[in-house]
Amino acid sequence: MPSSHDHYFSRDGLKLYYREYEGDPEKLPVLCLPGLTRNSKDFESLAMHIAPRRSVITPDQRGRGKSQYDPTWLNYHPGTYVEDMWTLLHHLSIERVIVIGTSLGGVMAMLMASMRPQAIGGVVLNDIGPELDPAGTRRIQSYVGKLPPATSWDDAVAQMKLMFSASLPDFTEERWRRFAATSFTEDENGIPRLASDPKIGELTRAVAPGAAPTIWPAFAAMKDIPVLAIRGALSDLLSEATFERMQREKPDLVRVTIPNRGHTPMLDEPDSVAAVDTFLQDLE
């Protein structure tokens, strides 16, 4: 299906990247928001699957992928990212979307829905909830912005395994290399460079493990918005207790657990694809 890529400018002047996959203009488009250090490439497979039926927009947040890095690391927080997304939607003349958010992207989705519920037609939360398990936050804080620069693609693959092997236990060597290719860019000498600003981790480490604020009010604000919640069975960030409470707080919540996945499912697993397909179909 046809796709295009372009840039827009944030309110504070950063040049930010997005890719758009064309779909049926009569249906609500889908906005895909990646995790903390991730980028738009994470959604390529899902976007190409959805795009014949709906348009899909996959942005790189500031400091990631092909977007400009922010010279002020204090701007690397959800409030800024959400403002950037409103700017992007205005740039594209889109008034209402369905948001698929992985990890940080799901936090953004909840915040967007609480701010402008009329602009959100549905939400998919990928291994994220209104409350974070301290075990997962400690793990993330242990590596974000702390790993040494990769010196080769073998080194890049090794770093991906170090960070994600517990969450992706069935990945083959070939799949790890493809995952590394979405996580790194290549400089003029062919050396891989992580596709995210190491300073992103500064704000993350400023929050003590277990002290991360909860956003149950934002979750409650989605009471009239259809929501699909996906959890990796091995997740250390979205606990089973929080997953259960989400169902109690929102009885019409659709929940799916993906086997053999931790934080986070890749959204290309058959169970994930089927869940998203059914959710989008039900919205019609």
Q: Which residue has the higher pLDDT, 194 or 207?
A: 194
Average pLDDT score over residue span 132-145:
88
Percent of the chain predicted with pLDDT > 70: 96
d(CA 276, CA 156): 31
Instruction: Report the CATH number of the 3-135+214-283 domain.
Output: 3.40.50.1820
158-185 pLDDT, tens digit each: 999 999 999 999 999 999 999 999 999 9
Q: What is the pLDDT of residue 143?
A: 84
243-274 pLDDT, tens digit each: 999 999 999 999 999 999 999 999 999 999 99
Q: What is the pLDDT of residue 209?
A: 54
CA distances from 196 to 36, 96, 106, 150, 245 (A): 9, 29, 19, 13, 33
Contact 33, 12 (CB under 8 A): no
Q: What is the pLDDT of residue 212?
A: 61
Average pLDDT score over residue span 91-115:
98
Contact 143, 167 (CB under 8 A): no
- DSSP assignments along 185-218, one per residue: EE-TTS-EEESB-TTHHHHHHTSPTT-PPP-HHH
Average pLDDT score over residue span 60-84:
97
pLDDT at 3 over 80: no
Q: What residues pair up with 17 in beta bridges, in sequence order?
A: 7
Q: What is the pLDDT of residue 1?
A: 57
Q: What residues pair up with 230 in beta bridges, in sequence order?
A: 126, 256
Per-residue exposure over 81-96, b if at least 16 CB sit within 10 Å of its own CB, e if not: bbebbebbbeebeeee
pLDDT at 60 over 70: yes
Q: What is the pLDDT of residue 207?
A: 61
Q: What is the mean pLDDT of the chain?
A: 94
d(CA 108, CA 82): 6
Using pLDDT thresholds of 50, 70 and 90, give the confidence band for residue 109: very high
32-56 pLDDT, tens digit each: 999 999 999 999 999 999 999 999 9
Average pLDDT score over residue span 220-235:
98
Q: Is 239 strand, coil or helix?
A: coil
Q: What is the pLDDT of residue 23?
A: 95
Q: What is the pLDDT of residue 147?
A: 85
Q: Which residue has the higher pLDDT, 1 or 268?
A: 268
198-227 pLDDT, tens digit each: 999 887 766 655 556 689 999 999 999 999
List strands edge to edge, sheet with 97-102: 3-9, 15-21, 56-59, 30-33, 97-102, 120-126, 227-232, 254-258
Q: What is the pLDDT of residue 208?
A: 56
Q: What is the pLDDT of residue 142?
A: 82
Q: What is the pLDDT of residue 206?
A: 64
